[in-house]
Amino acid sequence: MALLQIAEPGQSPLPHQVKRAVGIDLGTTNSLVATMRGGRATVLPDERGEVMLPSVVNYSSERSPLVGADAVALAAQSPADTLMSIKRFMGRGSVDALADAQRSHYRLAEGDEGLVRFITSGGAVSPVEVSADILRVLRQRAVATLGGEIDGAVITVPAYFDEAQRQATKDAATLAGLRVLRLMNEPTAAAVAYGLDSAEQGVIAVYDLGGGTFDISILRLQKGVFEVLATGGDTALGGDDLDSALADWVLQECGSPTLAAGQYRQLQAAARDAKERLSDEQEVDIDLQGVMPAGGTVRVTRETFESLVLPLVKRTLRACRKCLRDAELDAGVDNIVMVGGSTRVPLVREAVADFFKRTPLIDIDPDQVVAVGAAIQADILAGNRPEGDLLLLDVIPLSLGLETMGGLVEKIVPRNTTIPVSRAQEFTTFKDGQTALAVHILQGEREMVSDCRSLAHFELRGIPPMVAGAARIRVTFQVDADGLLNVSAREEITGAESSITVKPSFGLSDEEIANMLQSSFSHAAEDKQARQLAEERLGAWQLLEGLKSALKADGEALLSAEEREAITGQMTELQALVEGQDADAIHAQTERLGRLSEAFASRRMDKSIRAALAGVSLDSLDDEVTQ
């Protein structure tokens, strides 16, 4: 008699087959790694018992780089060799990153394809390599704790990371020897942690004030299904900016002395320490010995600190208000999840509670909640919990589309569409005999190509020569669970196909990302007028091109001299209007010319029918009808 394999619910029947999966929060200021142990998500400590690894790497020599606290200790004496907040440079070009690099006292070199590369004493390194060094330490920590190599990892990224930044994160993980099971939005990871632990249902706002970025996500949780209704935020705002606001105030109080790069790093560290202490105390002293030329201390009260950071907190609330509008919520949210160390600031918690009219959830350490959620998701994706019914639905933060005639953007995948997603749309050719099609992929919310971000170009060749508008070209956009985009174009008659995976060489600058959505609203009326003008011009050009071809072929045979003169005169007038800016005038003249040329079009159709029927007897047509 055969025996059944018996196992506890949620456990593998063969314990030795359990996969070692981890969740990694690759943060701007600190990074963590967590895993499922004994049915609970646990953040793994290092040999010193510290769970948080400072996201700092020092390249002072050609030896192995120092990562974490050891690197932080060298920040003051070798600031150009000590790279921190490197996440802000992921997927960006050197031109975009120049201002941030100069502010951080980094030496920037021109890299391949314009990528950011930092000059250090140990050689030039890219943000991907720096991130890989951080991830490598986290992997080694997990290997030592779990007693074997890691089978897979879920790595979190800000919700506003674009395709280039996500791809850069995956490249860093591969370089660190990690197999990426999935990239996961940080706010979504936090919602996963609270959703499973608290069994909450309803609408959740995830307020994530990290070290370098702010993200807000509105999610709907129902019976284990997480759906991201909308995302927003500010990629140029984080806890570091709160520290800088306090550090700049200290400088003013001390007469604004000129500080070396290492001294300013020390001042920022002192400001960060003061910010953390002010969460529990009403006033603290900041020790400036070794930081300021004159040394001494500066006393700062919680009231002063809150007045300094209030404008920054208000910026986060503006993003929250915009995100709620995007989610089209009639009622408020049911819960607010707080993520990021700076959410411990009393002013932040009070402002968020007042805005949402709810007390935020703070049951899980805000520094660890993202890693906890990532570990839960990693355990499911690794197959350790086959009965797990968690379905995670993320959304794309910005619309994806392609360029059409007239410089217009045709949106294929609108922003806030749930991913993974596949969308297709049919297009056709603009000119007679066209045998190739250039596909220009774009990202953004504006109506014109010039106002959106170019992602990639590719060509579809092998289109059979046909009259304009006869070809059927199906363009498919596929966004995978990591937010990476694949675009393919197929000509339906011949089967000719071409495709591209969008891995641009660098991403948007912080300012571009922060302003992209706002510009779509502030320029809405202007964009509507621009699109209307472009569409009217396109319709006019199509009519003009068609009439030019028709006149060349049949003008003399089917039109009198007076008729030809009338049509060509109206064509000249329309051509002049097309060069102008009056969409209504172009529309009126297009309709006028269309009515004038109707008789000519009818004669051409009659001629084509007669030609097709030439030599065909009526009897044969009757036979075909009766068969």
**Active-site positions?**
25, 87, 186, 208
CA-based nearest residue to 91, from 52, 58, 130: 130
Integer Cα distance of 502 and 30 in angstroms? 29
- 7: Cα separation from own chain's centroid: 42
Both tokens assigned to 107: 């030496």
Q: Are 46 and 144 within 8 A, CB to CB?
A: no
Order the strands of the 82-84 sheet from edge to edge. Answer: 66-67, 56-58, 82-84
Integer Cα distance of 266 and 612 in angstroms? 87
DSSP code per residue over 524-549: HHHHHHHHHHHHHHHHHHHHHHHHHH
Integer Cα distance of 25 and 131 in angstroms? 12
Both tokens assigned to 52: 């948080």
DSSP state of 457: E
Three-state DSSP class for residue 208: strand
Q: Is residue 539 packed enough to be buried (19+ CB in 10 Å), middle (13-18) or exposed (0-12)? A: middle
- 72: Cα separation from own chain's centroid: 30
- 99: Cα separation from own chain's centroid: 21
Q: How far is CA 287 from CA 271, 299, 307, in A?
A: 10, 9, 21
On the CB side of 195, CA atoms within 13 Å amount to 30
CA-based nearest residue to 364, from 202, 224, 240, 208: 208
Integer Cα distance of 622 and 618 in angstroms? 6
Q: Are strands 82-84 and 335-339 parallel, antiparallel or unpaired?
A: unpaired
Both tokens assigned to 476: 């498919």
Integer Cα distance of 337 and 189 in angstroms? 11
Cis peptide before 420 (omega within 30 of 0): yes
Q: How far is CA 281 from CA 104, 269, 597, in A?
A: 30, 18, 82
Residue with tokens 């001299």: 561
* β-bridge partners, 84: 56
CA-based nearest residue to 338, from 420, 272, 279: 279
CA R_g for the chain: 31
Q: How far is CA 26 from CA 106, 135, 154, 162, 357, in A?
A: 21, 8, 10, 16, 31
Both tokens assigned to 442: 């774009």
State which H helix or E strand residue 563 sits in.
helix 561-578
DSSP code per residue over 114-173: GBEEEEETTEEE-HHHHHHHHHHHHHHHHHHHHTS---EEEEEE-TT--HHHHHHHHHHH
